[in-house]
């Protein structure tokens, strides 16, 4: 065999291995997204607790879990919205027990939060916890423009909330030797290389991804499945986006979320988000960085002019009075 033959054999072998790897990856993706049977969530326990259960993704997940026959502990800051979610569960004809924990994660400290959650789950067969509560900027802004109150709220709700709630439920799950915890992360940190002008939000979600990956290894052998689920855009009050091909409704999205519970440490549950992520990752990072900066500068400009209009009309109203 001469050198040219050797070269041809080597390159075609490498090519064949690459094609096989890509094919296996694609088949695995099809299995995960469409064919893999979801876990029987009742096996973890008869109760599920959801934060952020009063709106958007968390609320849709609440209804989805109710349809699976799980009793629910709804955690939220607004008693009226908690009652409204509970009414929706009844209106859908789901015959499950519902309890509330009124908790404003922005105002309640960690130790107090743990105490209240421990009290709420005492004596209940708690199997699943979804940390869905989250907060973003009303619109994009430079880091120095984030006012202290908003900064405090994002850290408390996005980072501390999920951390303290996990701390409160883990001991019970260890005793039972089973349980599942889902932390809702964000595509801003997993799919994109940067999220300028929304830095604090993206960083808080990066924390959740790493936190989930680490503790999932710590507790896997204790029968506890910990996962960070990664949405890209979903049509909720947080994004104020209409539903479209890549922007599902919370109801569609929550079905995909529920199917994935208990499997990977980190997962993009909705198949079109996963396709979107794949396409985005094919774009060079420098291009994405500069595009994201321009994109958020535009939204910052829109937000500022909207704020200015609101201020002007408030001032003219108070002058008129």
Ligand X SMILES: NC(=O)c1ccc[n+]([C@@H]2O[C@H](COP(=O)([O-])OP(=O)(O)OC[C@H]3O[C@@H](n4cnc5c(N)ncnc54)[C@H](OP(=O)(O)O)[C@@H]3O)[C@@H](O)[C@H]2O)c1
| Binding residue (CB under 6 A) for ligand X from 46, 67, 106, 252 | 106
- Residues 139 and 302: beta-carbon distance below 8 Å: yes
Q: How far apart are CA 41 and CA 57, in angstroms?
A: 18
| Binding residue (CB under 6 A) for ligand X from 224, 234, 256, 292 | 234
| Binding residue (CB under 6 A) for ligand X from 44, 45, 50, 58 | 58
Radius of gyration of the chain (CA): 22
- Residues 77 and 104: beta-carbon distance below 8 Å: yes
83 binds ligand X (CB under 6 A): no
132 binds ligand X (CB under 6 A): yes
231 binds ligand X (CB under 6 A): yes
Residues binding ligand X: number (CB under 6 A): 29
Cα–Cα distances in angstroms (integers) from residue 44 to residues 93, 140, 262, 265, 271, in the given order: 23, 40, 10, 17, 25
- Compare residues 117 and 234 and give the one whose CB is closer to ligand X: 234
Stretch that binds ligand X, among 8-16, 41-49, 233-241, 255-263 (CB under 6 A): 233-241
Residues in 157-186 at the binding interface with ligand X, rule: CB under 6 A: 157, 184, 186
273 binds ligand X (CB under 6 A): no
User: Which residues does 78 contact at the CB level (< 8 Å), separation at least 6?
Assistant: 54, 102
Helices (H), 177-284: 187-190, 199-220, 250-260, 271-281
209 binds ligand X (CB under 6 A): no
Within 13 Å, how many C-alpha atoms sit on residue 90's CB side?
9
Q: Is 295 marked active-site?
A: no
77 binds ligand X (CB under 6 A): yes
Q: List the one residue out of 195, 200, 225 whose CA is nearest residue 213.
A: 225
Options 44, 137, 195, 201, the catalytic residue: 201
81 binds ligand X (CB under 6 A): yes
229 binds ligand X (CB under 6 A): no
Closest approach, Cβ 17 to ligand X, in A, equals 36
Q: Looking at the annotation, which residues are catalytic? A: 201
């Amino acid at each position: 065999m001469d050198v040219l033959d050797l070269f041809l054999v080597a390159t075609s072998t490498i090519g064949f291995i690459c094609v096989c790897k890509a094919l296996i990856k694609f088949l695995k993706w099809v299995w995960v997204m469409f064919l893999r049977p979801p876990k029987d969530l009742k096996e973890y326990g008869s109760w599920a607790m959801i934060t952020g259960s009063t709106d958007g993704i968390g609320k849709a997940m609440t209804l989805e879990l109710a349809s699976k026959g799980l009793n629910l502990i709804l955690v939220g800051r607004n008693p009226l919205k908690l009652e409204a979610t509970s009414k929706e569960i009844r209106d859908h004809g789901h015959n499950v027990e519902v309890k509330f924990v009124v908790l404003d994660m922005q105002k309640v400290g960690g130790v107090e939060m743990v105490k209240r959650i421990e009290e709420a789950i005492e004596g209940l067969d708690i199997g699943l916890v979804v940390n869905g509560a989250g907060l973003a900027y009303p619109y994009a802004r430079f880091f120095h423009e984030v006012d202290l109150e908003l900064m405090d709220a994002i850290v408390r709700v996005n980072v501390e909330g999920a951390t303290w709630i996990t701390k409160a439920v883990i001991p019970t799950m260890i005793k039972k030797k089973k349980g599942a915890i889902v932390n809702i992360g964000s595509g801003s940190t997993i799919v994109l290389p940067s999220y300028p002008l929304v830095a604090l939000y993206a960083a808080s979600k990066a924390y959740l991804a790493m936190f989930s990956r680490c503790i999932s290894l710590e507790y896997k052998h204790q029968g506890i499945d910990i996962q960070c689920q990664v949405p890209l855009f979903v049509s909720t009050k947080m994004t104020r986006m209409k539903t479209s091909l890549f922007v599902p409704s919370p109801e569609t999205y929550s079905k995909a979320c529920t199917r994935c519970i208990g499997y990977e440490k980190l997962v993009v549950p909705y198949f079109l988000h996963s396709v979107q992520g794949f396409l985005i990752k094919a774009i060079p990072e420098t291009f994405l960085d500069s595009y994201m900066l321009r994109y958020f500068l535009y939204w910052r400009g829109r937000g500022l002019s909207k704020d200015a209009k609101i201020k002007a009309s408030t001032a003219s109203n108070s002058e008129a009075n």
